[in-house]
Amino acid sequence: MATGKSGYFDLSTTKTNVKVRVNWSETYDVSANTSTIQITSIQVMAVSPYGYYGYTYYPDGTAKINGATVATFKSATPSHRVRIEAQDTWYAISGAPYTSEPISHNTDGSKSVAIAIDITGYSSDGSGDSGWKASGSKTVKLTTIPRASTIGATDANVGASSTITVNRKSTSYTHTIAYKFGSLSGYINADGEAVTAETKITATNIAFTVPTSWYNQIPSAKSAVC
């Protein structure tokens, strides 16, 4: 797993004297073309000079990543809580991180997901008045995972053309076509020419005429694999 992007966003709250922030991070798997997203913390701040502190708040609601619920808060349980000890200081709701299942990226390696939070912070375990309500959703663009292109070619006789087809996963990608036939090796450029220097190209359909000199590699055989 590789470390990907991270960030935060603030939620809308029903009381201006309370701020709620969502922090998130990403790890990704190149071979599987997936990412795992974590809500690393949900933080609450009492804003001076009007924010109430010295209270423990118990949230009720849900946290979702890509539409799937990753945390359920039940104030009456109460399994999650946040103690506000001072103003203008972030305090995290207990129980984080909240982690998604692996999320598949698109075939070009791109992916965006929505992180959605909808919670009410009660000043007691469900029996008291609500202190604040916070909700919001943010769509985050994840790391674009590089995807390897695939290649194919039609069979051809010496002196005839083979059509080489490259399926690249993104139009921004370039590729190099290398060949090996018997003791010969080299590269094929965008014009379908056998060359010695490595050449990066964007062409995806290339007509390559098999050189007649390749006969020398199969003096006693009718065919071989390039």
* Digitized pLDDT (tens) for each residue of the chain, 226 residues in all: 899 999 999 999 999 999 999 999 999 999 999 999 999 999 999 999 988 888 899 999 999 999 999 999 998 888 899 999 999 999 999 999 999 999 999 988 999 999 999 999 998 765 555 689 999 999 999 999 988 889 999 999 999 999 999 998 888 889 999 999 999 999 999 999 999 999 999 999 999 999 999 999 999 999 999 9
What is the per-residue pLDDT across 73-111, written as a single tens digit (0 to 9) for each? 998 888 899 999 999 999 999 999 999 999 999 988 999
What whole-number distance in Å separates Cα of residue 188 and Cα of residue 25? 42
Please give the structure tokens belonging to residue 15: 């009381």
Residue among 28, 29, 102, 90 at smallest CA distance from 65: 102
Q: Flag whether the pTM goes above 0.85.
A: no
Phi–psi pair at 126, nearest 5 degrees: 100, -15
Burial state string for 55-77 with b = 16 or more CB within 10 A and e = fewer than 16: ebbbbbbebbbbeeebbebebee
What pLDDT does residue 25 have?
A: 98
Residue 201's CB: how many other CB atoms inside 10 A? 16
What pLDDT does residue 36 have?
A: 98
What pLDDT does residue 1 have?
A: 87
